[in-house]
Every structure is written in C-alpha cells, then in structure tokens.
Chain A
Amino acid sequence: MKVETVTISPPESGQPTTKADAEVVMVEVSGPTDPDDALIKRARELVLSTGSAAMIKSFDWALESEALVTED
C-alpha cells in the first residue's frame, strides 16, 4: 500500500513563476490497503483518540472495503 501526495499545478498564466502562498495537494492511495502500514496505524490511533465509535466504525469499514484506494 502506498500513500502519496501530488501537488496540483496552477493553470498556465503566461506570467513568470512566483512562489504561491497556497497550493492544493491531492492525497493518492494505491492499494491494497494494509492495516499494518505505519501511516494507517497512526491514522487509526488518531481516530481512536477522538473516542467516537461512529468514526472508528467508519474507519475500519473504509479499510476493509478498500474505500480509500484511489489508484489501481
């Protein structure tokens, strides 16, 4: 399982490149989802820290059903 970020390029303006104050970053997940992956484990700990049963249930469901996977 791989989690990567991709910075979305601003549209071509024809102007000289300047440093942007804000950028949109897209999170890509390529499967299969591994519950033992370090990032997933940390994410689950964060979810557990909320104490929300609904959030934990949804998190485990998303992992099991591969709902987070965005790439083949």
Chain B
Amino acid sequence: MRPRPRVVVTIHGIRTHGRWQKEITPYLARHRLVPYHIDYGWFHVFRFLSPWWRKKQIQKVRAELRSLLEKAGTPRVSIVAHSFGTLIAMECLQADNGDLRYDRIVLTGSIVPRDFDWKSVLAKKWVIAVRNERATADWVVRTALLASRRPLRWFTRLKAGDSGRQPFTQSAPALLDDWIAGDHSEAHNPFRFERWARFMAYPELPDDLLSKVVAELQALRQEAAKVLDVDPELVRVNLFAPLDGALRIVRGATDNMQYAPEFEMKIEENHGATGTAFAQGKSCVVVKKGKTWTGNTLPGTELDKLNPRLRWAVSLPVKSQARGVVVGVVNVDGLDNIPRLLQDPNSDDCKVAVLALHAGMLQRFEPCLEAAFRGDGPQRIEV
C-alpha cells in the first residue's frame, strides 16, 4: 500500500484574510505536500474576545479538520498556524482527545499557553514534532496573555499565552524552538517558508540532503563489502525512518536495491532487526540460516515483500546527538551468502564487524538526518 497523501493545513489568525497561506503554497508543493487552507474570513478582535464566538469558531474548524481527514483518507495532517490559528489548532486537538492527530506542527505568533503539556501530547503521539517560531518583539501575543488574566479573564474566559514571544516551559526532543527579532507579522516572514516545508516533509529528504545521503549510502555499500569480505554486488543499503506510524524506506535513500516489493515495506517498532534497532537504539543483526525467516523477524505480510535471495542484515540506528533520540536506521544487507564474520551473530567476529560498520557510518548520516528533521539546509551541517 502506498503511503497516504501528506496534507498540510494552514490556519490564519484574527483581522486577516491570511495572505501568507497562499504564499506558502508553492513551498509546500515543492516538497510534495498537499496544502489545505482553512479560511474563516475576517475575524474581528471583539469576536476573539467573546467566549461564545471563539468557541463557535473552534468547533467549526474542528468539524472541518475531521471532514478533511475522512475525505483525504489520512490519519493525520500537519499544521502551520498563526496567532489565533495556533490556539484553534491545539484546542481542536485537546477537544478530540486522541481522535484527531497531527503529524508535524509549525506555530508562529503562538498564543498557546506557555505551560502547554507538550510532553504528554508527544508521548501519546497525538503530535509527532513541533516547531515554535517566536518573534521577540511580538506585542500581540503579549496582549492575548493580558486578556487571559484577571480582571479581563472574567469577561473573555480566554486561556492564551505568549509562547509566540517566549519559549514553552516544557522541553522535549521533538519540540523545536526558534526565534527572530521582530513583531507579530515577522514571525511568518516568507523567507522562513522553505524551512517549514522541509520540516513538514520529513522524513522525505529534500534533494540537496538526499544527494548527500545517497552518496554516503553508495560509499557505505563498498566499505561494508570490504569489511565483510563479500562481493559488493551482493550488498545493498537503505535508510528507514518513521512515516505514517511505521518505519519505511525513505524515498530515494537506497543503493543497489532492485526488488520492487521491498520499497513498500512497513515495519513496526520492535519488529525484526530494523524495528528493534529503532526502538532500542542498538545495532541488530539477523541472519537466515535455514529456509525461513522464523524467529523475531517480521509479520508474514512484510516477509512476503523481502527479496527471496536475502540472507542477512545489519541494522544500524542513527541517533541525534543534539536530541538523544533515534532518527532513522541504516540497513546494510546481503544476498545469497552469509559473510564469514556474521555466521554466528553471538561471536566476537560479528561484534567486531557491527562495531566497525556502526562507528564508521554514524558521523556521516547523523548531521544530514538531524538537519532534515529540523528543516535546515545542508549549509548548516557541521561535520
């Protein structure tokens, strides 16, 4: 089954028709993301301060989001929201209590309370990753905070914060914080659109990073063949990363793989060598000594997709140094014969080979994957 379409919903704020929503569209399209703009028209500040109008608006957007998920046939959407749009997005999420889920979120000029419980939302996978884009001179979000305090709160019943000006109080590996010196409108300056689109496209790699990763995969295949003393033509390499609730091969990030069904593989965490390496953050080895892949390998539906000639695989987790979480798994595997060093996976020979391959690739892949996760370009990679 092909991965589902990746829809990015944009939600504007008050007193605007959201021109930036139209401006960001080509950037999203460039990264194969499907834009969907929520336009609820000019929303006056008095309506924003009215609990009744606000609640009505949030309910409307919530219904629209649920309808969108159903029509697009996708379990999640990504979000880019500005100002009141940020509060709408997060209130919809909490109101649905897990029925509505987001993939990756960009908050700009955010008025979500600074003590928002991101750890819980991320742990429950209601949201996969967040970028909070702050503007340090944003007086509008400060005003929203004041309207949430007594005595104004008695009238507004508003629970807003100034997270568009100051960082959230919680920190988490998937919660990224960035800031710019500027005001409320500066937060969604078009020069940042490309970065946001790259962030939301992850783990799809933009062309500049993909070409670097592919070059490293090609080199790794030759090096692995040398380390394991096997014919390079029988060695393949690929990169798996989490997408749509499972680990999948990152589009284009393979070398010497020609068996089409394998490109459709979908591996759950803790399944097989790849899923275990991702979940546990440790290198894994699997060798097929008999005729079948029995043991803790993969469910039958996924085993059916494997190249019948596959005999062994080494799964190498790539851990983000900055955030301490596994961001992907590089697999080195081979056809027809099991290399001498891997014959006994519990032997010192096998440990030595795995240490050589893992240590020898880590520094080359981690910067690329971390840059892709953050939405950065290759110029930010320091190797």
Residues of A in contact with B (beta carbons under 8 Å apart): 3, 5, 7-11, 18, 20-29, 39-40, 42-44, 46-47, 49-52, 54-59, 61-63, 65, 67-68, 70
Q: Tell me whether A18 and B294 are in contact in the complex, defined as CB-CB below 8 angstroms, given that A47-B360, A55-B223, A58-B362 are known contacts.
A: yes
Which residues of A sit under 8 angstroms from B223, Cβ to Cβ?
50, 52, 55
Which residues of A sit under 8 angstroms from B361, Cβ to Cβ?
55, 58
| A to B contact number (C-beta, < 8 Å) | 144
B residues contacting the other copy or chain, number (CB 8 A): 47
Residues of B in contact with A (beta carbons under 8 Å apart): 216, 219, 222-223, 226-227, 272-273, 276-277, 280-297, 319, 321, 345-346, 348, 350-356, 358-364
Q: Are A59 and B227 in contact (CB under 8 A)?
A: no
Report the 3 A-B pairs with minimum CB-CB distance, sorted nearest first: A21-B290, A20-B295, A62-B359
CB distance from B350 to the nearest CB of A (A): 7
Q: Are A67 and B321 in contact (CB under 8 A)?
A: yes
Q: Are B286 and A59 in contact (CB under 8 A)?
A: no
Q: How far apart sit A49 and B291, CA to CA, in the bound complex (Å)?
A: 33
Q: Tell me whether A22 and B351 are in contact in the complex, defined as CB-CB below 8 angstroms, given that A47-B359, A52-B360, A55-B223 are known contacts.
A: no
Q: Are A3 and B355 in contact (CB under 8 A)?
A: yes
Q: How far apart sit A21 and B296, CA to CA, in the bound complex (Å)?
A: 10
Which of A42, A62, A70 has a CB less than 8 Å from the CB of B352?
Answer: A42
Which residues of B sit under 8 angstroms from A47, Cβ to Cβ?
227, 356, 359-360
Which residues of A sit under 8 angstroms from B350, Cβ to Cβ?
5, 25
CB distance from A39 to the nearest CB of B (A): 6
Q: Are B346 and A21 in contact (CB under 8 A)?
A: no
Q: Are A59 and B294 in contact (CB under 8 A)?
A: no
Q: Tell me whether A22 and B283 are in contact in the complex, defined as CB-CB below 8 angstroms, given that A39-B348, A52-B219, A55-B360 are known contacts.
A: no
Q: Are A22 and B297 in contact (CB under 8 A)?
A: yes
CB distance from B244 to the nearest CB of A (A): 23
Which residues of A sit under 8 angstroms from B360, Cβ to Cβ?
47, 50, 52, 55-56, 58-59, 62
Q: Are B296 and A27 in contact (CB under 8 A)?
A: no
Q: How far apart sit A10 and B356, CA to CA, in the bound complex (Å)?
A: 27
Which residues of A sit under 8 angstroms from B363, Cβ to Cβ?
57-58, 61-62, 67
Q: Are A67 and B219 in contact (CB under 8 A)?
A: no
Which residues of A sit under 8 angstroms from B364, Cβ to Cβ?
54, 58
Q: How far apart sit A49 and B281, CA to CA, in the bound complex (Å)?
A: 27
Q: How far apart sit A59 and B284, CA to CA, in the bound complex (Å)?
A: 18
**Which of B354, B359, B361 has the largest number of chain A CB atoms within 10 A?**
B359
11 contacts between A and B (CB under 8 A): A5-B345, A8-B276, A8-B284, A8-B296, A21-B295, A26-B277, A43-B356, A46-B353, A50-B227, A63-B359, A70-B280
CB distance from A29 to the nearest CB of B (A): 8
Q: How far apart sit A15 and B62, CA to CA, in the bound complex (Å)?
A: 47
Which of A3, A26, A50, A58 has a CB less than 8 Å from the CB of B284?
Answer: A26
Q: Are A22 and B359 in contact (CB under 8 A)?
A: no
CB distance from B268 to the nearest CB of A (A): 12
Which of B226, B281, B319, B345 has a CB less than 8 Å from the CB of A23?
Answer: B345
Q: How far apart sit A56 and B361, CA to CA, in the bound complex (Å)?
A: 9
CB distance from B142 to the nearest CB of A (A): 41
Q: Tell me whether A49 and B227 are in contact in the complex, defined as CB-CB below 8 angstroms, given that A24-B272, A24-B276 are known contacts.
A: yes
Q: Are A43 and B355 in contact (CB under 8 A)?
A: yes
**Which of B272, B295, B346 has the largest number of chain A CB atoms within 10 A?**
B295
Which residues of B sit under 8 angstroms from A52, Cβ to Cβ?
219, 223, 360
Q: Are A22 and B287 in contact (CB under 8 A)?
A: yes
Which residues of A sit under 8 angstroms from B348, Cβ to Cβ?
39, 42
Which of B345, B352, B356, B359 has a CB less than 8 Å from the CB of A25?
Answer: B345
CB distance from A12 to the nearest CB of B (A): 11
Which residues of A sit under 8 angstroms from B227, Cβ to Cβ?
46-47, 49-50
Which residues of B sit under 8 angstroms from A24, Cβ to Cβ?
272-273, 276, 284-286, 295-297
